[in-house]
Amino acid sequence: MITKNIPLIKDLESLENRLKEIPQSPGVYLMRDSSDRLLYIGKSKKLRNRVRSYFRDSKNHSHRISLMVQKVAEIEFIVTDTEAEALALEANLVKQHQPYFNVLLKDDKKYPYLCITWSEDYPRIFITRKRRLGKAKDRYYGPYVDTGLLRNTLHLVKRIFPLRQRPKPLFKDRPCLNYDIGRCPGVCQELITPEEYHKIVQKVAMIFQGRTGELINILNTQMEKEAEALNFEKAAAIRDQIRGLNSLNADQKVSLPNDQVSRDAIALAGNQQIACVQLFQIRAGKLVGRLGFIAEIPNLETSETQELGAILQRVLESHYQTVESVEIPTEIIVQNELPEGEFLQNWLTEKKGKKVEIFVPQRQGKAELIEMVKKNAEYELLRLAKMSDRNNEAMTDLAEILDLPELPHRIEGYDISHIQGSDAVASRVVFIDGLPAKQHYRHYKIKNPEVRSGHSDDFASMAEVLGRRFRDYEKQPTLEKPDLVMIDGGKGQLSAVVAVMEEMNILEEVRVVSLAKQREEIFLPGESQPLTTDAEQSGVQLLRRLRDEAHRFAVSFHRDKRSQRMKRSRLDEIPGLGPNRQKLLLGHFHSVDYIRIATVEQLAEVSGVGAKLAQQIYDYFHP
């Protein structure tokens, strides 16, 4: 066993012995330092040759790799049967461990995906910024840089093809207007079989796979067959679909010598924190997709060409692992040489079943295309940098206003919503580095029995919510502590919260302020007068954005709760229908409107509702 207390580069005998133990097989290698921390995870079709190259060709290494080699104290390996398995295993291990010297892609939800839920009998198609991989059959396309274009495309697709337009049915026993006008095939009433509906969605998927031209050819053939069979109505419907598809990306044409070649072009631009990567998908001379990725790597401006190629390689490997074989182009042009381009090219060729070429363009037309992709990446990097600068400026200004020791990384905002005490709720929103972090948002139902219809108490409600938020603070040291808590309100709300936090002995650890609505005044604990600020200051505007978001989140929850109560109140008027049976009815029919239009027989089918009560319910809604 090799000792781990010194780097292998300083113990050449141990290094050589370790290298001899590594087989000439495809697999994954893991490099660790003397503290057993993972430094780097890589893959190769010949493990020993690849690992040996780190310690022999040091002059050709980038600064990042040279620094890593100086720290390696142990090398582990995992042998796989094929190169494809090595590629997949490496991707999973990098995502799980995120080693410091690997190029890491950020999943920061700046760019949206399009999801098709193939796991369902009637798949849904929607835009999301969260790539959930819980169900293997579901497919995600993207991430797309141009959100507006993606929304317009999906809107047009839902007009061209008959697709489900609503996430939930509008009526229980009949389709809605979308069915009558031909926008939906009647999914809610299962007027179309899952098999037939899947065929429609498969055509939609071809659009987002960049196969619109292939789809138009298929539809042209179908239209001719229907016309020959004298089914002129079906032929006309297919003709309209073809016209709609021709309007998609009609103006996005890229001039290249061979417009029939399917190709992707990838380039990047970066600064000292991140790299913005853009991938243009070009099919038959048309730009059908523009995907965006963010990679983390320090000091990119001074990085060597090899580092730029490593970023591009990481993006391409991550992207093509999630696509179907028909989506892989036959030609991939890259801004810089990939460090393991042959490995990636062989894997893509095997996956597609057809020769795939990866190269840096030399001819003018393709070189100009790469330059165009790079220019778009530069514009995106500039946009993100400006956004980051604005957030940093706002947080710096806020830190100065409140005399904070450092910039507030996590800020929490709280608000109360009710109507004269009824359906009282509260919200918590969280901003991380000046941006909303919706995964940390929370709703609260006010439990104070004194807060009821006709009697409100915002002070007590706010104190209750903050007490619940921090009650397990001492028991859970891992509980993430906010750098700043903002209360929506004036001195009264702030005093109530301060009293609770003093009782819990956390006031010194958590900074709390309040923001009054009328004059946008900031109050500090123990101060009778607000801080002297300008409402247009960037720090004050950041607090206002936080306050407005907390208000929006609280009001939406209050409306939902009030709506549910109003629905239930109609059922309260029916004799013999208690809370338990109301719950059973709503669980079966999902809404009071469906209960109202149900027949006596349908009502009697609900567990706990007999024929007599079913008749009473029916008579109530049909006097």
Residue-wise pLDDT tens digits, 364-394? 888 999 999 999 999 999 988 888 788 888 9
Helix (H, G, I), strand (E, B), or coil: what is residue 42?
strand
* Residue 327 belongs to a domain: yes
Same domain, 300 and 438: no
Residues 300 and 234: beta-carbon distance below 8 Å:
no
Residues 566 and 430: beta-carbon distance below 8 Å:
no
Structural domain harbouring 319: 263-274+294-383
* CATH value at residue 62: 3.40.1440.10
* Residue 283 belongs to a domain: no
Q: What tokens does 342 get? A: 């042959």
End-to-end C-alpha distance for the chain, whole angstroms: 87
Same domain, 429 and 540: yes
Same domain, 447 and 366: no
Residues of the chain with pLDDT under 50: 1-3, 301-302
* Residue 126 belongs to a domain: yes
pLDDT at 303: 55
Same domain, 182 and 205: yes
pLDDT at 620: 84
Same domain, 431 and 534: yes
* Residue 441 belongs to a domain: yes
pLDDT at 338: 92
* Residue 254 belongs to a domain: no
Domain stop point among 53, 82, 102: 102
Same domain, 372 and 500: no
194-208 vs 147-160: helix crossing angle, rounded to 10: 140
Neighbouring residues of 591: CB distance < 8 A, sequence distance ≥ 6:
567
Same domain, 216 and 149: yes
How far apart CA 426 and CA 445 sit, in angstroms, is 6
* CATH value at residue 431: 3.30.420.340
pLDDT digits (tens, 9 = 90+) for 241-293: 888 888 776 666 666 666 678 899 999 998 877 889 999 998 878 888 899 99
* CATH value at residue 597: 1.10.150.20
CB crowding 467-495: b at 16 or more within 10 Å, else e: eebbeebeeeeeeeebbbbbbbbbbebbb
* Residue 489 belongs to a domain: yes
Same domain, 236 and 379: no
Q: What is the DSSP string of 476-534?
A: -TTSPPPSEEEEES-HHHHHHHHHHHHHTT-TTTS-EEEE-TTT--EE-TT-SS-----
Q: pTM for the complete prediction? A: 0.71
pLDDT at 3: 46
Same domain, 227 and 135: yes
pLDDT at 355: 94
* Residue 31 belongs to a domain: yes
* Residue 393 belongs to a domain: no
Same domain, 350 and 466: no
83-97 vs 341-352: helix crossing angle, rounded to 10: 120
**Domain tally, the chain:** 5
Same domain, 536 and 579: no
Same domain, 233 and 358: no
